[in-house]
A = this chain, B = another copy of it.
Amino acid sequence: MAWKALSMIAYFAAKWDSWRKEDVVANLKSLAEHLGLSQATVSRALNNYSTVNQETRAKVLEAAKKLNYRPNSSARRLATGRADAIGIVLPHQDDLLVDPHFADFLAALTKKLATYDNDVVLTATDTPQTYQRFAEIGKVDGFVISAPKAHDERIAVLSKLNFPFIVHGRCETDLPYGFFDIDNEGAFYDATKLLLQLGHTRIGLINGAADLMFAKQRLDGYNRAHKEFGIKPALELIHHDHMTEEYGYRHAQALLDLDDRPTAFLCSSTLVTVGAQRRIREMGLEIGKDISIITHDDGLSSLKTENFSVALTVTRAPIRDAGTQIAKMVVDLVRGTPIEQLQKVVPVDLIVRTSTSAPRRSRS
């Protein structure tokens, strides 16, 4: 085993040597000297200036490649004023809570930004001062704001600083800002409508935290559908909380303990549904028969709604798509695309599977 380990390392080392070019050149200056050119010309060649002769450019590019030259990023940043990096603040709502959706979002965002040679810089503390500092200090060229609240301080601050940012979601403000959002209102309108059409009249809503904009939008959709059917949903049916398995369980429990308990649930995330399902089972009820469920599905890579015991009817909008799109949008914004062109809302699919059916008639 020890031998094997050693040989593997030797293998990788050799492989690595073959990638690594012999000569390595540290900086522009030495590359320029090596080529017998000025730093200026070499820099221009590397940065695709039209004023540089084709042959020269070719030579420079070749040498740079051969000598494995990489421009120092700090120097470049200092000279250009650009950071080629986008900031993103970890949404740690509570101290402990981390949204699992965020991993998928981040992965897609980072991957797409890499195609624009932009990095992602993470920060933990979510205060206006953090944003200001990052902006002023030149660490990032722009921000992506996640999980906006209806009235989000961060947007006020960044607007005031006149610093580029794209919001993942929307908020209520008259300030102009770029955003990418899914049609949460429409999605939950459709979902609610489907349930109402099936004959459900008491529909429990297990929503995200009340101050988050998307939760508000979803509630709006829920309400609009009810209004169309002339039904006024009881307040006891509407729950707002963090979207964890645990809270899914608790709120399902509360809903099922009601005297006149709902015949259908509308859940804001897959994990919440896992929790709700646990409670439903405990009570000996059957999903899709005793109780219908529609959940919002962010297309998490590690937890798929089609794989639930009872395949779930969902409103589906892959959060990775949001990451990918927002990456492009924020880069465009930094490069000068006007805000008005960076406001996008995409529709949400309603995928009907077996967790929804007409309510059972037999009720005591």
Q: Is the CB of A151 within 8 A of B8?
A: yes
Residue of B nearest to A157 (CB): B16
* A123 contact set on B, CB distance < 8 A: 110, 114, 119-120
Minimum Cβ distance to chain B for residue A83 (Å): 7
Chain A contributes a number of interface residues (CB within 8 A of B) equal to 84
In the complex, whether A232 has a CB less than 8 A from a CB of chain B is no
- Selected contact of A302 from candidates B138, B151, B245, B249, CB within 8 Å: B245
Contact assessment for B124 and A110 in the assembled complex, using a CB-CB cutoff below 8 Å:
yes
Residues of B within 8 A of A119 (CB): 121-123, 139
Task: Tell whether, in the assembled complex, residue B9 and residue A173 are in contact, meaning their CB atoms are under 8 Å apart.
Answer: yes
Closest residue of B by beta carbon distance from A77? B74
Query: A106–B100 Cα gap in the complex (Å)?
Result: 11
Q: How many copies does the complex hold?
A: 2
Which B residues are in CB contact (< 8 Å) with A282? 309
Contact for A303 among B124, B125, B175, B271, CB less than 8 A: B271
Is the beta-carbon distance between A111 and B92 smaller than 8 angstroms?
Answer: yes
Question: Which chain A residues (163-222) contact chain B, with CB distance < 8 Å?
Answer: 172-175
CB distance from A123 to the nearest CB of B (A): 7
A353 located at the interface, meaning its Cβ lies under 8 Å from any Cβ of chain B in the complex: no
Chain B residues within 8 Å of A110, by CB: 90, 122-124
In this assembly, does A98 line the interface, its C-beta being within 8 Å of a C-beta of chain B? yes
Asked if A329 lies at the interface with its beta carbon under 8 angstroms from chain B, I say no
A residues within 8 Å of B by Cβ?
Answer: 1-2, 4-6, 8-9, 12-13, 15-16, 19-20, 70-75, 77-78, 83, 85, 90, 92, 96-100, 102-104, 106-107, 110-111, 113-114, 119-125, 128-129, 132-133, 136-139, 151, 153, 156-157, 160, 172-175, 242-246, 249, 271, 274-275, 278, 281-282, 300-304, 307-309, 320
